[in-house]
Every structure is written in C-alpha cells, then in structure tokens.
Chain A
Amino acid sequence: MKESTKMLLHYTTGIGIEIVGGVHLFTIFLTGPYLQNLAFSGGPYSVIAVYRNSLLAATLELLLIFVAYHALNGIRVILIEFHQGTSWERGVSWVLTATGIMLLVYGTRTILIANALA
C-alpha cells in the first residue's frame, strides 16, 4: 500500500471514529444513569442490551476496525519518524499488522458472542 493511501485511510478512519465513537459514548453517558448503563443487564442501554441490538453491535465492530487501524497506523507513523530504514519500517509494519489482527479477532469474538448471549 502506498504511503499516501495509508494516510488517506488514517484521516478517513479518524473522521469515522468521531461519528461511530460519538454513538458509543452517547449510549453510555447520555441515555440514562451511567452506572445503570454499565451494569450487565437492566436498562435499555445496559451492556448486554447494547450488544444484543445488532445495529449497535455493528457500530461497535466498525469502531473496533477504525480504532485498530488508526491507533496502529499512528504508532507506525511515530516509529518511522523516529528512525528510517527499509528493514526497520518493514519490521514495524509486520509487528503492528500482527497486533492488529490479534486485536480484531479478539474484539470481534467479544462482539459476536455477546450478541448471541441468551
């Protein structure tokens, strides 16, 4: 992937996070008492209610993908600004891609299982 494509994706996911992350924060802080919303079950926006709502669960999956890319690419930008060189940049990309895949697999597992919880 070209460097310019990576940075275009960085800015795009940044804007995406502001929208999807806004929804995420809204459901937690502005839909009722914060402690009720962080309880396992109970109110309409309790933890499990949010995951069972497939639309909200989909926004969480989107948020996971956007933030994983944005955060890891941000770390990549910092690390290749610190030091330049083909093998360094390749090593950094490799480690961060592997980290990203693990994060996506684990986070997606949480979302899918929580969505299916009886």
Chain B
Amino acid sequence: MKILVAVKRVIDYNVKVRVKADQSDVDLNNVKMALNPFCEIAVEEAVRLKEKGTAEEVVVVSIGPKACQEQIRTALALGADRGIHIEADTTPDSLAVAKLLKAVVADEQPDLVILGKQSIDSDNNQTGQMLGALTGMPQGTFASEVVVNDGKVDVTREVDGGLQTVRLTLPAIVTTDLRLNEPRYASLPNIMKAKRKPLDVKTPADLGVDTASNVRLLKAEPPAERSAGVRVADVAELVEKLKNEAKVL
C-alpha cells in the first residue's frame, strides 16, 4: 500500500499572530514557522502504518513557497520516504490545493491519502473533503482511529455528539484529529538521513492547474479585545458580583 500525506507550512502554534498596521493581512515577518500540527499527526499515522507493514511507501507533498521544503524535510525526518514540493509564490487557496493534490493523486495512485483536518492559519477545514469530491474518493474526516483491513479502512471520527465509525473502500481519504496519535520527535540521525531522501519539485503549470482564487482578502482586523476584569478576594465576593454586577446568576 502507498500512502500520500499532504503537509502545510504554517505559523508555529505557540505564536500569537498580529495583524499589520494597515490591516491588509496578518504580519508573518520574522514569525516562527512549523509543520501544521494536524499534518504532523498525519505523517506519524502514515509512518506507523509503514512500521506495521501495512504500507510500503509514504510520500509527502507540500504546496507553497520554496521554504515549504523545510517542512517536507521535517516529514522525511519523521519517517516518510520521499517528498514532492509544488512550488508557488504564495500558498494557494484550499480549492486550488485540492486540485493540485488531485493531480498528484493521479500520478502517484496512492491507496490512502492522509491530510490534517484543519490548517491552524486559515482554519479552513476543507481541503481533504474537497479532494474527496474531486477524486470521487470516500472520506473519513476528524479521525481519532484508523484501522486498515482487506482493501477497506475503518475510521473512527470525532463528531459533535461523540464518536462515529465509517468503513471506506480504498483508495480513501482520512483527515486527522488531535487524538489520533502523538507524533514522535525526529532524531538527529534521522534528520541527517532526511537530507538525502528524494525531493521532487514541480509547479502548478506542470500539473495543468490554475491556482487563481475567487476569494479576496479585503481586510484583517484584530479581534475585539477583552480587557482583564477584576480579581475577587474569595468565593463570597465572586457570587456577589455575579449576582449584582454581572447579573448572570
């Protein structure tokens, strides 16, 4: 079995991003970047399937500026076998990413495609589902458990009401939720080894995909700030304030 994992370069999750003074966008200058946490979980799941002997090869793909290759190398250090970088000046929107991934799927013919459920920058939560529709593959989104068996994959999904399990016929798409696994740390020897693993670079034009977007960002504003309120001395004062000042009890 071959697994394709899509990984995105995003702001590090510990960074609190700010908008630019002219409100044209968020300010990513000198901000620490990293592998999207959900993508890290996706890579880990694929590597575990390989270690179990279920998969033979794990291919990672990332779309965006040249610097994405850092995140591809991270994924290779975590155990993926080879990388594909689709180089674009800016990161395309989810629909364009899904179209590019569809072209990669057509080339690579993976049995399973694993993506994160959400990128922590756009908070879109849509690329995996879009890829499912474009390729006609079934999907198991927000996965907290993935069991591959006999041409099928059982995916346990985290839904609002609890958990749901679906059985998909391969090839299929899985998007990861936080509790699917706990990603390992890359060891130094593996980081060194990752530098020698193959990494192919392509462009959207090579894949025949137009990445123009019909959605324009007009403005990015800071959210309404909450100001810190008061400290209460004890429970009695808290209850008094909630009753008489906030009037919520």
Query: Are these two chains actual partners, yes or no?
Result: no
Which residues of chain A have a CB within 8 Å of any CB of chain B? none
Which residues of chain B have a CB within 8 Å of any CB of chain A? none
